[in-house]
Amino acid sequence: MQDLLPELCDQFEDLVHVVEPMLMNFGAKERFSGEIVTLKCHEDNSKVRELAGQDGTGKVLVVDGGGSLRRALLGDLLAEKAASNGWEGMVIYGCIRDVNAIGGINLGVQALAAHPMKTEKRGLGDINQKVHFGGVTFTPGHFIYADNNGVLVAPHALVLKPNT
């Protein structure tokens, strides 16, 4: 199987924006893509839970956790919920926990790091607004692609041309 992101960068260099290398792959799906849904929250995963419970078919949840390394915004129960509701994956500018369990869940997960502490539940967070981290702006409705080479965004779905 070819590496997706290098191929997309080669064919769509002027269209894609590559996230600075900072995220690690944690989920069972090492390669995932979909329409961007955004969430901005800080050390409170209440809205992650809310969105994971919604239909996520063909979508990737991009969570701007402010880069906090003090609390985990995703654990195994929410990852299971997201996978069962069709989410392709989650890209988290923050931490996750339950790493071994998440590694067995059919969900793409990229995050900064792992941290064992859960978040407080205050019901705070802003859904579907532009968020910015890693040198890239994530716009709801645009598309995101992730694999072991990194993460990139594009204003629309990309289709690779066959190699000739």
Classified as helix, coil or strand, 76 is helix
* Contact of 81 with 98, CB cutoff 8 Å: no
pLDDT tens digits along 34-82? 999 999 999 999 999 999 999 999 999 999 999 999 999 999 999 999 9
CA pair distance 55, 150, nearest whole angstrom:
25
Residue 161 pLDDT class (50, 70, 90 cuts) = confident
Q: Which residue bears the tokens 């205050």?
A: 122
Classified as helix, coil or strand, 27 is coil
Query: Exposure string (b/e) for 72-89, b if CB count within 10 Å is 16 or more?
Result: bbbbbebbbbbbeeebbb
How confident is the model at residue 23, as a pLDDT? 98
Q: Which residue bears the tokens 């069972």?
A: 28
How confident is the model at residue 162, as a pLDDT? 81
The terminus-to-terminus CA distance of the chain in angstroms comes to 16
pLDDT tens digits along 105-160? 999 999 999 999 999 899 999 999 999 999 999 999 999 999 999 999 999 999 98
Q: Residue 149: left if φ>0, alpha if ψ -120 to 50, beta else—which one?
A: alpha
Residue 70 neighbours by CB distance under 10 Å:
13
How confident is the model at residue 164, as a pLDDT? 47
Amino acid at 31: R
How confident is the model at residue 3, as a pLDDT? 84
Specify the pTM.
0.96
